[in-house]
Amino acid sequence: MIRYFKVAIFLACLGPLAYLLWGFFGPTPFDRTAWGAGLGANPIEKITHTTGDWTLWFLLITLAITPARKLLRMPSLIKFRRMLGLFAFFYGCLHFLTYVWLDKFFDLHEMLTDIAKRKFITIGLTALLLMLPLAITSTSGWIRRLGGKRWQALHRLIYFAAIAGVIHYLWLVKADIRKPVQDAVVLGILLVFRIVLWAMASWKKRPQLATVTARPTALER
């Protein structure tokens, strides 16, 4: 059963890419002779925005798995988390490739200037680099090699990748911050959920220790 769900979700995750490809080759009211005209007047801008949006959204979906498992009591959702996380990385790579190829045309000098001078580029690249070790160590082999605890600690980097991604978006918009703020609010809720869980867990541990030490033993009496 899970297997079929996995295939279905995998195909659904390819949706944004299919949308771009369909737009690229599909019918259009715009000048058909122009490159990628099906994606509108400025196809490269459309590709950049679509891949960027979906990178961030896949990060948020991945981060929503744990809360969803607990709140819906559906522990089996964990089986989809790796795939969703890898799709975040996949769209992040497409987003980066769009920048390197279609925006900068592999001009290394220009890109290095950008990374040094423009903080939204710097933090965007940071977000992608934070995702890189997570993508590499996403296999079962790496979980075994690192050990569950260390693997889990490493994969907490996703919090920072998502935060960097939202800041990247906030810093690049001109005046209308509505969309990045929406993403920031969702991320905020997902992070607060974890803080609450963590606080509750440490609260549970505390009183047990207190009762043990407070009660005098029979010998003392």
Binding site for another protein (CB under 8 A): 29-31, 34-35, 37, 40-42, 44-45, 105, 110, 113-114, 117-118, 120, 171-172, 174-176, 178
Smaller CB separation from another protein, 41 or 199: 41
Cβ closest to another protein, residue 113 vs residue 139: 113
Q: How far is the CB of 131 from another protein (least distance, A)?
A: 23
For the CB of residue 64, give the shortest distance to another protein in the complex, in Å. 26
By the 8 A CB rule, do 39 and 75 touch? no
Nearest partner of 148 among 136, 140, 160, judged by Cα: 140
The distance of closest approach from Cβ of residue 72 to another protein in the complex, given in angstroms and rounded to an integer, is 34
- Tally of CB atoms within 10 A around 139: 11
Distance CA 208, CA 67 (A): 26
Tokens 């906030």 sit on residue:
170
Q: Which residues contact 114 (CB under 8 A, 6 or more apart)?
A: 104, 121
Give whichever of 50 and 138 is closer to another protein, judged by the CB atom. 50
Cβ closest to another protein, residue 24 vs residue 159? 24
Token pair for 183: 């993403």
Q: Name which of 69 and 104 has its Cβ closer to another protein.
A: 104
Rounded Cα–Cα distance for residues 170 and 181 (Å): 7
> Rounded to the nearest whole angstrom, what is the least distance from the CB of residue 13 to another protein in the complex?
25
Q: Helices 119-136 and 148-155 meet at what angle, rounded to 10? A: 160
Nearest-approach distance from CB 171 to another protein, in angstroms = 8
**Is 127 in contact with 91 (CB distance < 8 Å)?**
no
